[in-house]
A and B are shown apart, each in its own frame.
Chain A
Amino acid sequence: MFAEQAAPTAQGLLAPPSAEPPTFPRVAVSGYSDCSQPFQLGERSFARQYAHIYAVRLASMRPSLERRARSRWGNDIAVRRLSELQEGEECCVVGTLFKAMQLQPSILQEISEEHNLVPQPPLPKYIQPSDELMLEDELQRIKLEGAIDVQRLVTGTIVAVYGREQDDGRFLVKDHCFADLPPPLPWSGPSSDRFVLLASGLGLGSVSGEALLSTQLLVDVVTGQLGAEGEQSCAAHITRVILAGNLLSQNTQSRDTLNKAKYLTKKTQAASVEAVKMLDEILLQLCTSVPVDVMPGEFDPTNYTLPQQPLHRCMLPLASAYATLRLVTNPYQASLDGVRFLGTSGQNISDIFKYSSMDDYLEILEWTLLAGHISPTAPDTLGCYPFYKSDPFILTECPHVYFCGNAPHFQSKLLQGKEGQRVLLVTVPDFSATQTACLVNLRDLSCQPITFSSFGADSED
């Protein structure tokens, strides 16, 4: 999208200095509203059990699932609770899925002396053919079999199954359905080209330095220093930059203090300190030119459980002096110029990846949208705050742009729903590995990756 507009003046700077070169004003932010209040936790109490979040999840999603079930299998189907099941009766049951996985890491097994187990090394996937699916509702649970893909589904999903109970106590599933796309939001996007840059996984503080120049090039393109005039004028249409997590690299996470003797580590500084300073400088360069939303990620200095709270602004003294810097939660939901963005830093998708047979991040992203829940595996395998009043991860409105960060590569898809929903699904790649960021055009919900490269000692690209 840049190139076509910029092409005419592409070679313009291969010339002697001209008179006063033009300066392009950044397109103003016309409408921004932060909708991530449900993800902001105030006073936190961990004295509650996690059962409440499942109860709330089921209670909130039951009505919409029953509606879906009736529309799919007929209005006259019997919707039963598990306690009301009669053997042989064809009915529909709404409940929470639970997948019993043998390989699922269990702390109790690890420390159990009778098993004498060596702690399991982290695996890429924990699925096994012997996994079993169970349906739980408020009071009972029942084993599922039949037309349901055990490998694909994960614990915590709210599902409606249609079938009957067999004599051996299992439920034979004839069909199942999820909550499907949430109701659509009205569209009020801009009429002219407006771009939002999505980037994630900057990975500062890592040992390798190749990505540093690419990061600098990214900042330069956005701030309008790089490129010929045409490209700069296009870059002036970038209204926002969203950094979706993992601003710090995983290398900053190792703490020698845990392994080494104190006399060796007393004077050493944590690796994240330098990395955060570098982040502050990069954010300062960005903030002087464009509004930036910074989401924390898995390796960033904030809390571990979802929803992750914003980074504290005292860590970014230079950049937080500017009003254009917004430190936001993970997941993040906001309305930019009438376009609703919803996204995470990727922990939810990568956790589902570990416990499901789905391999494609985009497929998983789409599946979470269809299941109506951002992160069904929380709190089972992904850390989560023990909500009890409401589950903020339930999708109640269909966003226009749904993204996840730190994916292995860039993918995007425009999903059309039955009720007129139009969602752009974007998997934002890990910048430190791929040097790729995404440009989303708000006018027509199209997305283009933007790659940066430099020359290394060996690369001939």
Chain B
Amino acid sequence: MADELYLENIDEFVTDHNRVVTYKWLSYTLGVHVNQAKQMLYDYVERRRKENSGAQLHVTYLVAGNLLQNGHVCHKVAVVREDKLEAMKSKLSTIASVHVYSIQKALLKDSSPLYNTDYDIVKTNLQHCSKFSAIRCAAAVPRTPPDAPRAPAPARSPQRQRDPDATAGTVNGHGPRAAKPPPQQHKGIMGMFAAKAAARPQDTPKEAKAEAKEAPGVSAASSKPPTKNSIMNNFFGKAAMNKLKANSMPEQPKEEKEVVKPSVAVAEPESSPNTVAEKPGKKTESDRIQQKDKKSKTKRADRSDDEEESDPENVKKKRKRIKQLLSDSSDEEDVPPSPTPEEERAPSPPPEPALKTELEPSSTEVSAGGRKRKRKRVLKSKMFIDEEEGCMAPTCGLGRCSSDLDEPRQTRMSNRKAQEQDSTAPPRAAPSALEDPLGAGCRRGVPTAPAALRRLLSDPSHRDPSTLR
């Protein structure tokens, strides 16, 4: 009965599905040794022909043997149709093997269906293509992958430079944050998935650290920016650094303003968005950005859970970036009391998209971590535009009002809005919370925009007006 099963199977394949059944295809499909598959095919053909001599079956055979050709003995391996089998056998001086190659209903004009069948089945079974073969090679073992850890290494090296900085700054809570970017940066998107999962266990220690952070306050934070500056230099390169410096200028005054707030904000990263305007806004933005970076808009449902847990890290990570940017720009402006992580949360969203949009061109030269940053920035700026409900920066008075720039933003805004309609409530709360800092930032940002910033803002990017906010 087990014997008969394969006959039924072959019958089904050949007659019902009208397939070209090669021995290799049968071997992979039924999971049998190739020689058994060949014998099965032969058995099937014999039985069918015995039962029903008019059976609509065409068979191709494989013939191999020695052939005298051009004066030397050549080993010939040929796939022949049934009608040519005897002719080929007679040509060969010695026959090494004969077996059934394939069975099909229709008469084959050429051998391409045979090739295609084999190609397809091998393609789907590439990982164990020698499983049913008659020869086993003991030497064919996959190499141990020493390359896997090597790939992250280059991305990790810039972060190595951060690590000593982080260890020095554990008081500020940068320790955990520095630890987080490396795993994220070197794996790109996948790293973000992993990092997000890893981020959650880190939440509690981070929160504790964040609270401990407040005590040292500004002074400790101030020690970090210079070192971070150098690290950022390594990351972004000189050209980008100048841009960053110019760009982070508007954030400085905002940072200073927000110094007061962090003490409250940091204590409860999970605090409801309404308690502190900017921080939850940042939090949700960061979460949203992270979510979007992971390219799973469906994850918005999780965001509400993730926000609270991963927010400190995300915000911290963003904060870290912003902080470095801000610290870069500290040369050009009055040096603010270097922002603590909490303070960095405070810098209004406009500075963040400003930073990020400016960072975008520079991030091209950065590794995958920078790329991720770039992605984040894009989303963030768009989201701000969304929540802004059309508060156009040019109207704030910086003198750049290009209506055509608004339109693409509008469409994107509408897209983003549509996407955000699907999200759950907590992300929704963000827009309202964000408007405040945006307005504040807009007001603040305008008078202090220096020439360098204006130069940057004249960059023909559609996102520019958002930076003015």
Contact = CB atoms under 8 A, between A and B. Distances in A.
A16 B114 CA distance: 23
Pick from A4, A24, A412, A454 the residue with the most CB of B within 10 Å: A454
B260 interface: no
Interface string B102-123: 0000001111101100110011
Interface string B135-155: 111111111010000000000
A227 B140 contact: no
B99 interface: yes
Nearest to B97: A228
B194 to A, nearest CB: 22
Contact of B135 (A10, A24, A230, A287): A24
B39 A13 contact: yes
Nearest to A222: B135
Interface stretch (A134-142, A180-188, A211-219, A389-397): A211-219
Nearest to A287: B140
Contacts of A213: 79, 111-112, 114-115
B72 A449 contact: yes
Interface stretch (A70-78, A319-327, A352-360): A319-327
Main secondary structure on chain B at its contact with chain A? mixed
Contact of B126 (A14, A24, A225, A281): A281
B239 interface: no
B136 A212 contact: no
B76 interface: yes
A228 B96 contact: yes
B65 interface: yes
B129 A449 contact: no
A4 B133 CA distance: 22
A297 B361 CA distance: 41
Interface stretch (A61-69, A92-100, A231-239): A231-239
B24 A223 contact: no
Given A25-B135, A450-B74, A455 B115 contact: no
Interface string B19-42: 000011001000001111011101
Interface in A2-23: 2-4, 6-7, 9-11, 13-18, 20-23
A215 to B, nearest CB: 9
B316 to A, nearest CB: 36
A452 B115 CA distance: 13
A418 B79 CA distance: 45
B391 interface: no
Pick from B39, B65, B74, B111 the residue with the most CB of A within 10 Å: B111
Contact of A23 (B92, B129, B136): B136
A323 B141 contact: yes
A216 B115 contact: yes
B42 A26 contact: no
A451 B97 contact: no
A7 B94 contact: yes
Contacts of B137: 25-26, 288-290, 324
A17 B138 contact: no
B278 to A, nearest CB: 44
Interface in B286-325: none
Interface residues of A, number: 74
Nearest to B118: A216
A439 interface: yes
B81 interface: yes
Contacts of A1: 75
A2 B76 contact: no
B43 interface: yes
A13 B130 contact: no
B77 A226 contact: yes
Contacts of A123: none
A255 B72 CA distance: 41
B99 A14 contact: yes
Contact of A226 (B62, B69, B73, B81): B62
Given A18-B39, A228-B99, A455-B84, A236 B73 contact: no
Given A281-B122, A291-B139, A453-B76, A17 B66 contact: no
B263 to A, nearest CB: 52
A47 B80 CA distance: 58
Interface of B: 3, 6, 23-24, 27, 33-36, 38-40, 42-43, 46, 60, 62, 64-67, 69-70, 72-81, 84, 88, 92-100, 108-112, 114-115, 118-119, 122-123, 126, 128-130, 132-143, 145
Sorted nearest first, the 7 A-B pairs with minimum C-beta distance are A224-B135, A228-B97, A13-B99, A6-B96, A454-B111, A21-B35, A26-B137
11 contacts: A3-B96, A10-B96, A13-B35, A213-B112, A226-B62, A227-B96, A232-B135, A439-B75, A448-B73, A453-B76, A453-B79
